[in-house]
Amino acid sequence: MSAKKSVAVSKLSDEEAARELETLAREIAAHDKRYFADDAPSVSDADYDALKKRNAALEAKFPQLIRPDSPSRRVGFAATEKFGKVKHGIAMLSLENAFSDEDVSDFVERLRRFLSLGADEELAITAEPKIDGLSASLRYEKGKFVLGATRGDGEVGEDVTANLRTLGDIPPVLKGRDVPDVIEVRGEVFMSHADFAKLNKEQEAREEKTFANPRNAAAGSLRQLDAAITKQRPLKFFAYTWGEVTKLPGKTQTEVIEAFEAWGFPTNPLMTRCVSVEEILKYYAKIAGKRASLGYDIDGVVYKVDRLDWQQRLGFVSRAPRWAVAHKFPAEQAETELLEIDIQVGRTGVLTPVARLKPVTVGGVVVTNATLHNEDEIVRKDVRVGDTVVVQRAGDVIPQIVRALVEKRPKGAKAFKFPEICPVCGSHALREDGEVARRCSGGLICPAQAAERLKHFVSRNAFDIEGFGSKHVDAFLADKMIAHPSDIFLLEKKYGAGPKAIAAREGWGPQSAAKLFAAIEARRTVALHRFIFALGIRHVGESTARALALNYGTADAFVTAMTAAADETSTAFAELNAIEGIGEIVAKAIAEFFEEEHNRAEVARLLAVLEIEEAEKPKSDTAVSGKTIVFTGTLEKMGRNEAKARAESLGAKVAGSVSAKTDILVAGPGAGSKLKEAQKHGVKVISEDEWLQLIGDA
Ligand code: IVH
């Protein structure tokens, strides 16, 4: 399962993340189906949660890669470990969608048929805006608010009682005497446009994360671990339906909503009652016309059968009521001129085309930029600078270019030529076979990627420079004290930033500055595999770096061979490709890295300031040489990395998962699935002490 063998999110490239998100979407959807539709779960809750967590972590790190079919979108958001879980006694369902007038009249006709209504029998239907927020269920017992939950996946939500209590719109105690023993009032938590704009401004001023849209802001605000933060966020609530209830306060939808209002809930003032398709469609047109001036996001109109006995008879189909439908607004579109196509370089080096537009209002929002996704998309849509284009905003997504109006194309408009040179650093921008993204190959020197690369360079498994955290990298970079990794070792020499100057900076003192310089000095001598890993070459993770170090032995030999391997027809390339564990893709990535002159120059600068240790050749005559070892559980005598390095230095291969090819599983306390797997394959299982004895370290 993907969550088990997962690489740290921070180490993934855009492509890798996109690929994993795709697999996760598929995997989670399959589990959802088995769990929710077939009632036959095939994984444990914990394993399922791990997948969801991984998906969430990837999405947090790569928000631009969130898929339309993401498991986090499909269900609003899934119950996470963050909050306690609440199993909804009555599921929080979704609604069927209607997109056209015809869909709506079909809906009404279906209702009439199902209820066998005569031609002149009245069928009242309520109509109300569909709020674009997140739904919540509020449980009241004897009139007191006792439990509040998010929708989660519809069956299980998150316990956000404390947070919901902070909303002024949610009464802690229901007003009036005629209150049922138990009632779950359900509705939408949302943020108004004005409050959203204000919040984002404040967040920006505090240098905190801003939100992409009011719905995200509402969700993010509600799902705070600290309810005091939720309290400061201007969240609103509209009540529109219910879950478990001991006695309903009315016989129609309208009457129940009126009771909600009497108990102290805000309900939507635009809710109305219609008795014909014509009235319904008129209402839809009216709301569509008001949409931009409502002050909060809506994405359609919801119609519900008014009589509750009829709702009961109509019941549900799969996950939605037969008695209701959501009439969605079409994506909002507008025409405007494409002024320019700019290329942005992301932190991982991906070149993304951005359309600069003549400002145009789309659904009440002024749009000046739109994404063009990638090179192929521009070709596919044949979008050219100067074109009149159709721009679309659908829900919360970033504006998109739908198409170019070829009939309006100015004479001489040329097809866009996607740059093959990084616009930020001038290195070659390359596309790997089968990849849509073109990326800058100047990883080490490209300012667009500098922060990410430097953070990687100083990270634990690379140079491991203690006291040089992410924040410091950002600050030093911003103040132009470092640009390239080699600058870290030249702080004093090149930039005059010695311990004294650093100590004078905000957040530093003499002690921390002295410590930093000591840490940097300590790393002037470094193991070859760490050096190679620190370069941040695409596809070169720790184990590949180790394989390279072992194979080439010294930094000089490595750099000479790699520079020669930049020519992919060379024997040096063939040799590289032949190293165990290195395939074509990895070899090519390394060759491309060294093909880039800027990178070679930085490597040379690094070699000038560093002392790189020779890699110890693994022994070939030990008890474990040539054996495949897997470690699992807690190791008590040494860290996992250390154990791995030791095993490798003795000529063993260390694998991450157990298979029939595994020779030995070293199992510490807490060993779980790997132990089972080993038993299944008849793999030899030993304790950490037995392992140390075997390798002569006991
Ligand atoms: S009624 C059993 N009314 O839309 C029917 N839902 O696509 C319960 N929503 O999960 C839903 N405004 O989050 C209803 N006026 C409204 C709504 C509304 C927004 C959301 C709600 C629901 C989703 C279904």
Q: For the chain, which residues make up each domain, given as ranges?
A: 1-74, 85-328, 331-436, 443-523, 527-613, 628-694
- Contact predicate 453/439, CB 8 Å: no
**What percentage of the chain reaches a pLDDT higher than 70?**
94
Q: Chain-wide mean pLDDT for the chain?
A: 88
Q: Flag whether pLDDT at 91 surpasses 90.
A: yes
Out of 240, 312, 318, mutate this one to test ligand 1's pocket (max ligand atoms within 8 Å of CB): namely 240
- Residue 43 is predicted with a pLDDT of 61
360 — pLDDT class (breaks 50, 70, 90) = confident
In a 13 Å sphere around the CA of 453, the CA atoms on its Cβ side amount to: 29
For 431, 564, 595, the CA distances from 568, given in Å and listed in that order, are 16, 9, 10
Summarize the confidence of residues 408-415 as an average pLDDT.
93
Dist. CA 640 → ligand 1 center (Å): 49
The DSSP-derived string for 606-639 is HHHH-EEEPPPPPPSSSTTTT-EEEEES--SSS-
Q: Which of 247, 352, 543 is nearest to 256 (CA)?
A: 247
User: Is the CB of residue 128 below 6 angstroms from any atom belonging to ligand 1?
Assistant: yes
Q: 443-523 domain in CATH 1.10.150.20?
A: yes
In ligand 1, the atom with minimum distance to the C-alpha of 97 is: 7
User: What does the DSSP 8-state code read for residue 35?
Assistant: I
- Residue 668 is predicted with a pLDDT of 86
User: Is the CB of residue 94 below 6 angstroms from any atom belonging to ligand 1?
Assistant: yes
User: Is the CB of residue 274 below 6 angstroms from any atom belonging to ligand 1?
Assistant: no
Dist. CA 174 → ligand 1 center (Å): 22
Q: Which of 331, 282, 298, 314 is nearest to 101 (CA)?
A: 282
Q: Hey, whose CA ends up nearest to atom 10 of ligand 1? A: 94
Q: 1-74 domain in CATH 1.10.287.610?
A: yes
For residue 303, what are the β-bridge partners? Answer: 127, 325
Q: What CA–CA distance (Å, rounded) separates 84 from 78?
A: 12
Summarize the confidence of residues 554-583 as an average pLDDT.
91
- Residue 293 is predicted with a pLDDT of 85
User: Is the CB of residue 221 below 6 angstroms from any atom belonging to ligand 1?
Assistant: no
- Residue 38 is predicted with a pLDDT of 46
Summarize the confidence of residues 299-310 as an average pLDDT.
96
Summarize the confidence of residues 305-324 as an average pLDDT.
92
Domains 443-523 and 527-613 share a fold: yes
- How do residues 579-634 score in pLDDT, each as one tens digit? 877 888 899 999 999 998 989 999 999 999 999 999 877 777 788 888 999 998 88
- Residue 156 is predicted with a pLDDT of 92
Q: 331-436 domain in CATH 2.40.50.140?
A: yes
Q: What CA–CA distance (Å, rounded) separates 156 from 166?
A: 22
- Residue 254 is predicted with a pLDDT of 97
Q: Hey, whose CA ends up nearest to atom 21 of ligand 1? A: 135
User: Is the CB of residue 648 below 6 angstroms from any atom belonging to ligand 1?
Assistant: no
Question: Any catalytic annotation for residue 680?
Answer: no
Dist. CA 241 → ligand 1 center (Å): 8
Q: Flag whether pLDDT at 643 surpasses 90.
A: no
- Residue 576 is predicted with a pLDDT of 92
- How do residues 198-210 score in pLDDT, each as one tens digit? 998 888 777 677 7
CATH code assigned to 527-613: 1.10.150.20
Q: Flag whether pLDDT at 19 surpasses 50.
A: yes
Residue 447, Ramachandran bin (φ over 0: left; ψ between -120 and 50: alpha; else beta): alpha
User: Is the CB of residue 95 below 6 angstroms from any atom belonging to ligand 1?
Assistant: yes
User: Is the CB of residue 130 below 6 angstroms from any atom belonging to ligand 1?
Assistant: yes
Q: What CA–CA distance (Å, rounded) separates 412 from 678?
A: 68
Out of 93, 94, 237, mutate this one to test ligand 1's pocket (max ligand atoms within 8 Å of CB): namely 94
Summarize the confidence of residues 114-131 as an average pLDDT.
95
- Residue 395 is predicted with a pLDDT of 55
Q: What CA–CA distance (Å, rounded) separates 109 from 12?
A: 52
User: Is the CB of residue 93 below 6 angstroms from any atom belonging to ligand 1?
Assistant: yes
Q: Among 3.30.470.30, 3.10.150.10, 3.50.50.60, 3.40.980.10, what is the CATH number of 85-328?
A: 3.30.470.30
User: What does the DSSP 8-state code read for residue 380?
Assistant: H
Dist. CA 201 → ligand 1 center (Å): 30
Q: Which of 394, 407, 314, 376 is nearest to 112 (CA)?
A: 314
- Residue 452 is predicted with a pLDDT of 84
Q: Flag whether pLDDT at 639 surpasses 90.
A: no
Q: Flag whether pLDDT at 45 surpasses 60.
A: no
Distance of CA 609 to the CA centre of its chain: 38
Q: What CA–CA distance (Å, rounded) separates 378 from 415?
A: 9
SS3 per residue for 437-491: CEEECCCCCCHHHHHHHHHHHHCCCCCCCCCCCHHHHHHHHHCCCCCCHHHHCCH
Dist. CA 670 → ligand 1 center (Å): 45
Tokens of 145: 């608010």
The more confidently predicted of residues 660 and 138 is 138
Assigned fold of 628-694: Rossmann fold (3.40.50)
- Contact predicate 242/183, CB 8 Å: yes
User: What does the DSSP 8-state code read for residue 561?
Assistant: H
Q: What CA–CA distance (Å, rounded) separates 355 from 336?
A: 11
Dist. CA 37 → ligand 1 center (Å): 21
Q: What CA–CA distance (Å, rounded) separates 513 from 481?
A: 14
Summarize the confidence of residues 357-369 as an average pLDDT.
83
- Contact predicate 150/158, CB 8 Å: yes
Q: Which of 130, 588, 653, 674 is catalytic?
A: 130
Grouping H, G, I as helix, E, B as strand and the rest as coil, residue 642 is helix
Dist. CA 324 → ligand 1 center (Å): 10
Dist. CA 270 → ligand 1 center (Å): 15
178 — pLDDT class (breaks 50, 70, 90) = confident
Q: What CA–CA distance (Å, rounded) separates 365 from 293?
A: 11
Q: What CA–CA distance (Å, rounded) separates 582 from 562?
A: 14
Q: Flag whether pLDDT at 79 surpasses 50.
A: no
Helices 555-565 + 571-578 axis angle, to 10 = 120
Residue 82, Ramachandran bin (φ over 0: left; ψ between -120 and 50: alpha; else beta): alpha
- Residue 46 is predicted with a pLDDT of 59
541 — pLDDT class (breaks 50, 70, 90) = confident
Which residues fall within 8 angstroms of residue 538, CB to CB, at 6 or more apart?
13, 439, 443, 589, 592, 593
Q: Hey, whose CA ends up nearest to atom 18 of ligand 1? A: 130
Summarize the confidence of residues 176-199 as an average pLDDT.
94
User: Is the CB of residue 240 below 6 angstroms from any atom belonging to ligand 1?
Assistant: yes
Residue 507, Ramachandran bin (φ over 0: left; ψ between -120 and 50: alpha; else beta): left
Q: Flag whether pLDDT at 397 surpasses 70.
A: no
Tally of CB atoms within 10 A around 500:
12
User: What does the DSSP 8-state code read for residue 33?
Assistant: I
Phi, psi dihedral angles at 414 (to 5 degrees): -100, 150
- Residue 77 is predicted with a pLDDT of 40
**What percentage of the chain reaches a pLDDT higher than 90?**
51
Q: What CA–CA distance (Å, rounded) separates 413 from 9?
A: 42
Q: Hey, whose CA ends up nearest to atom 17 of ligand 1? A: 130
Q: Where are the alpha helices (DSSP H) in 172-276?
A: 193-205, 214-222, 227-232, 253-263
525 — pLDDT class (breaks 50, 70, 90) = very high
Q: What CA–CA distance (Å, rounded) separates 526 from 535?
A: 13
Out of 77, 99, 128, 131, mutate this one to test ligand 1's pocket (max ligand atoms within 8 Å of CB): namely 131
What pTM, to 2 d.p., does this model score?
0.51
Summarize the confidence of residues 256-265 as an average pLDDT.
97
Grouping H, G, I as helix, E, B as strand and the rest as coil, residue 352 is strand
44 — pLDDT class (breaks 50, 70, 90) = low
420-424: Cβ within 8 A, 24+ apart: 422/345, 422/349, 422/351, 422/446, 422/448, 423/343, 423/345, 423/351, 424/345, 424/448
Phi, psi dihedral angles at 495 (to 5 degrees): -110, 0
Q: Give the end-to-end CA distance of the chain in Å, rounded to a whole number.
A: 35
- Contact predicate 589/538, CB 8 Å: yes
Q: Flag whether pLDDT at 243 surpasses 80.
A: yes
